[in-house]
Structure 1
Amino acid sequence: MSNTLYDRDLQLWISQTISQLKSGEFETLDIEHLIEELTGLGKSEKNALRSNLKILLIHLLKLKVQHHVPDPMKSSWYSSVLEHRQRVLDNLADTPSLNSFLIEALERAYPDARKGAIKEGKLAKFGVRIPEDNEYPTTCPFAIAQILDEDFYGL
């Protein structure tokens, strides 16, 4: 097992690294772990965007395909759309460079969102019709502008 400060106490390593950066002690920086942490931070930002986008797309798809369900069922989908759209918008506002990743995030999130919507659709109860898999488009039917539009619900 390694005996570096990074391995023993990550929070202390972060504090020390910040202190070294502020005081210009660049020659003593743990560059290898600093690169690892910064790379991980970028990945986590992208993962958060993709995850929120996926959940948003699941519920937009359900509203589009299962528009015939009773309103009480749809109300939770509307709430999820509102919440996850706001999370996506917050992700983009907090990290504007993620806008350049948005198309890729959508392309990666949509197949999983489609699978999720299909699986959830098969859980319909109380006489609600279960949609066929082919009723869910294989390519995203929503433009990015629609997905981000606070008044759009896929209907």
Structure 2
Amino acid sequence: MTNSLYETDYEQWLENQTIALREKKPDLLDWENLLELLEMGNPKDIVESNLVILIAHLLKLYVQTDAPDWMKLSWYRSIDEHRNRILKAKSKYKSISKFLPSAIESAYPDARKLAIKESKFADGRKVKLRDESEYPYSCPFSLSQILDDDWYPQ
């Protein structure tokens, strides 16, 4: 029963496990999934680190419109990979949906910093080097755009 709750209602499962721990009732603990969770780490941290990379590459597409196709292709691939990771976590952990807006807000400054840093490695003869001020100070993308498999900045 507990295993199925872990799969179907993560928040409820987590609450049940918290109560069982607090009340020192080891027979009510889902040891296998608790161990997996502890080994995996906090899914919110994992989502946020994927958001940093995803948003950084969305920003590069948004700002560096004149980048060569081979560069953009690399960004598209990274966007797809990190979007997929976030969407998988979102489907596995129901709390991720509630966490995403604040995670985007938290991840954006690091994503902006990463996009700016990576843009400095660009060859100025092939790609116009951008000023930091060209990267928006707040996220220009909506949550639905960030998670939409078919959306990329034009």
TM bucket by the smaller chain?
A: 0.7 to 0.9
1:132/1:93 CA distance change after superposition, 3 Å: same
Q: Per-residue deviation at 1:153?
A: 1.1
Partner of 1:106: 104
Partner of 1:129: 128
* Alignment partner of 1:53 out of 28, 51, 56: 51
Letter in 1 for 2:136: P
Partner of 1:81: 79
Deviations 1:9-53 (A, max 9, x none): xxxxxxxxxxxx8xxx92799xxxxxxx89967961110010111
Partner of 1:141: 140
Q: Distance in 2 between matches of 1:40 and 1:137?
A: 37
Q: Which runs of 4+ in 1 moved over 3 A?
A: 37-43
Partner of 1:67: 65
Most deviating of 93-102 and 113-122 = 93-102
Q: Distance in 2 between matches of 1:126 and 1:43?
A: 40
Q: Distance in 1 between matches of 2:80 and 2:143?
A: 15
Larger Rg belongs to: 1
| TM value normalised by structure 1 | 0.73
Partner of 2:31: none
Partner of 2:5: none
What is the RMSD computed on CA atoms of the aligned residues? 2.8
Q: Distance in 1 between matches of 2:150 and 2:138?
A: 22
Q: Distance in 2 between matches of 1:27 and 1:107?
A: 38
Q: Distance in 1 between matches of 2:143 and 2:137?
A: 16
Unaligned runs of 5+ in 2: 1-19, 29-34
Unaligned runs of 5+ in 1: 1-20, 30-36
